[in-house]
Amino acid sequence: MSCWVARSKTLVRLTLVVLSLVLVFSLTTVAASKKRLSFGTGGTAGVWFPLGAGMADILNRKCEGVIVTAEVTSGSVENTRLVGEGTIPMGFANDDAAYFAYHGTGIFNKKLDVYSMFRVYPSCMQVVVLESSGIKSIKDLKGKRVCVGSPASSAELMGWNILDAYGIKKSDIRPAVLSFAESADALKDGNIDATFIMTGAPNSAVMDIMASKQAKVLPIDQNIIEKLTKDYGYYSSWVIPAGTYKGQDAPVATIGLMTTLIANSKLDEETAYNITKTIFENLDEVRKIHSVMAGYTAEEAVKVPIPMHPGAKRYFKEKGLVK
């Protein structure tokens, strides 16, 4: 009897091992059959990384056939280049970089393989200084140590455009090349006098500065806003509402730029369609990822700066939002 019991136990163990191997093999096969997609976002202190990570999570749970990974990048310009050259299939970009890449102008000297998937939300420029600096206006930045936006980003492009509109040249300041998070730390430590942060408001890096130091966001003068929005059609006037940040008792006038999810033609039509469908059939979840997405609608999403990817266009055509 004891021999029979021993053999039975051995058989059970072998059966469990075989079943475990079959399960592992099955899961591995399923995972291998899914498309692995890199999603270019931005730095961890901005909005793009948490927003991209949240969207990736929704896609991984609800979009069949894909495994999406949110990648930390330098931001808009780098994402546009990576997508346009086919290194990654999709990523966030601001409308200026997307426009330049599609038309092969501005910062890109050749036309890149980029298409819009859908617009996401507006970013706005936030020029932050410490109260103790004595800086009252952007024109006071001459001779100062300034981070003019994170490198390879639309923030940097916009930052230099703003300074130029004020008549401030590169030789007039001491520029620092830093990410959002690095510039926030440098400002708090007194290593720079001002930082240009172009992202959704409120922004975690700006909130971090305000939490430990008396700081403020400098307004852009109305005549400068009018000049910039005229010279650069993809910019728009924007206002950061009072109370957005600690100690901000009044609204702050600035300029903004829309964020768009872009993709290249190597992202096949069916996958692009499924990604778009999944995002817009789960808008309740998308709106909860970050406060900048509150009130986000498909009607706003179709207002793209460059032609739409065929897969995304097919979804929006089905919904009657594009022709």
Give the pLDDT score at 26.
40
Give the pLDDT score at 179.
86
Instruction: Compute the distance between CA of residue 78 and CA of residue 159 in angstroms, rounded to an integer.
Output: 17
CA distances, 202 to each of 42, 205, 236, 240, 291 (Å): 16, 9, 18, 9, 8
Give the pLDDT score at 8.
54
Rounded to 5 degrees, what are φ and ψ at 15? -60, -45
- List Cβ neighbours of 242 (8 Å cut-off, separation of 6 or more): 248, 249, 250, 251
Give the pLDDT score at 281.
98
Domain 123-258 class, CATH top level = alpha beta
Give the pLDDT score at 164.
97
Question: Which of these, 126, 155, 124, 120, lies nearest to 293 by C-alpha position?
Answer: 120
Over the stretch 177-202, which tens digit does the pLDDT of each residue have? Answer: 898 889 999 999 999 999 999 888 88
Please answer whether residues 83 and 263 qualify as being in contact, where contact means their C-beta atoms are separated by less than 8 angstroms. Answer: yes
User: Is CATH 3.40.190.10 the classification given to domain 34-120+260-318?
Assistant: yes
Q: Please name the amino acid found at residue 176.
A: A
- List Cβ neighbours of 193 (8 Å cut-off, separation of 6 or more): 129, 130, 133, 135, 141, 144, 145, 146, 187
Give the pLDDT score at 70.
97
Domain layout of the chain by residue ranges: 34-120+260-318, 123-258
Give the pLDDT score at 204.
85
Rounded to 5 degrees, what are φ and ψ at 94? -85, 160
Instruction: Compute the distance between CA of residue 309 and CA of residue 288 in angstroms, rounded to an integer.
Output: 26
Instruction: Compute the distance between CA of residue 102 and CA of residue 96 in angstroms, rounded to an integer.
Output: 10
Per-10-residue mean pLDDT for the chain, 323 residues long? 51 49 42 83 90 98 96 92 97 93 92 97 93 96 93 85 96 92 93 93 89 95 95 89 93 94 97 98 96 92 94 98 94
Token pair 């749970």 in the structure block, residue:
61
34-120+260-318 and 123-258: identical CATH topology: yes
Give the pLDDT score at 78.
93
